[in-house]
Structure formats: structure tokens, C-alpha cells
């Protein structure tokens, strides 16, 4: 089993927007790839962090889900919107704070 964790720092005053955007991605991946993505916010440590997490049977299953989610019409449209927000400086997250962790069962 492969466990993926994506964490990022939410921009000041943007937590509600960031959580809403994460739930948009969650719905796209559920519809396109059947993946259950969980959305969490930090309650200790560095507050203002958001984590999305999902589990896969293998790296191949992860790669297939990524292709389906980001490659779907809704995924492509949301990615274009996010890219425009980054260019405009209206992104919901602090730049360069996205961190991915890949874990496997031992």
C-alpha cells in the first residue's frame, strides 16, 4: 500500500478558500479516478497548513489516478484556473511550501 501526503502552507486569511479549493480537487479525483482524497488542516505545530492525503495499492495505481484526475476536463480546467491565480498573485497557498511525501507499508 502506498500512502501519499501533500502539505502546503495556506496564505494568510485564505484558509476557507484553501479548504474549498482542496475539496474541489477531491471531487474531481473522486469522479475521474475513484480516489478518496482526505483534506486536513494542522491543529498543532505550524498552524495554517493544509494536508491532502490518499492511499493506493501501488505506484502504478497512483500514476493512473493522477493521469485520470489531472487529465479530465474538470481537472484541466481547474489546473488552468490555479495557474492563472499563481500568475496573478492570488493563489491560496504560500509559494514554495508544497511538500509531497510518499510512504509504503513496512
- Domain limits, the chain: 2-104
Q: How many C-beta atoms surround the C-beta of residue 16 within 10 A?
A: 10
Nearest partner of 94 among 28, 21, 7, 32, judged by Cα: 7
pLDDT of residue 46: 86
Residue in the block written with cell 484553501: 18
Report the CATH number of the 2-104 domain: 3.30.70.100
- CA 1, distance to chain mean position in Å, is 19
- Average pLDDT estimate for 4-20: 95
pTM, to two decimals: 0.85
Express each pLDDT in 53-98 by its tens digit: 999 999 999 999 999 999 999 999 999 999 998 899 888 999 899 9
Task: Kindly state the helix (H) or strand (E) to which residue 97 belongs, with its residue range.
Answer: none
Amino acid at each position: 500500500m502506498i500512502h501519499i501526503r501533500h502539505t502546503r502552507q495556506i496564505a494568510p486569511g485564505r484558509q476557507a478558500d484553501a479548504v474549498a479549493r482542496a475539496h474541489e480537487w477531491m471531487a474531481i479525483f473522486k469522479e475521474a479516478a475513484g480516489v478518496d482524497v482526505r483534506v486536513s488542516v494542522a491543529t498543532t505545530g505550524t498552524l495554517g497548513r493544509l494536508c491532502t492525503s490518499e492511499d493506493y495499492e501501488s505506484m502504478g495505481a497512483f500514476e493512473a489516478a493522477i493521469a485520470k484526475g489531472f487529465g479530465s476536463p474538470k481537472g484541466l480546467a481547474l489546473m488552468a484556473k490555479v495557474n492563472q491565480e499563481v500568475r496573478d498573485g492570488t493563489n491560496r497557498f504560500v509559494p514554495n511550501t508544497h511538500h509531497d511525501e510518499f510512504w509504503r507499508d513496512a
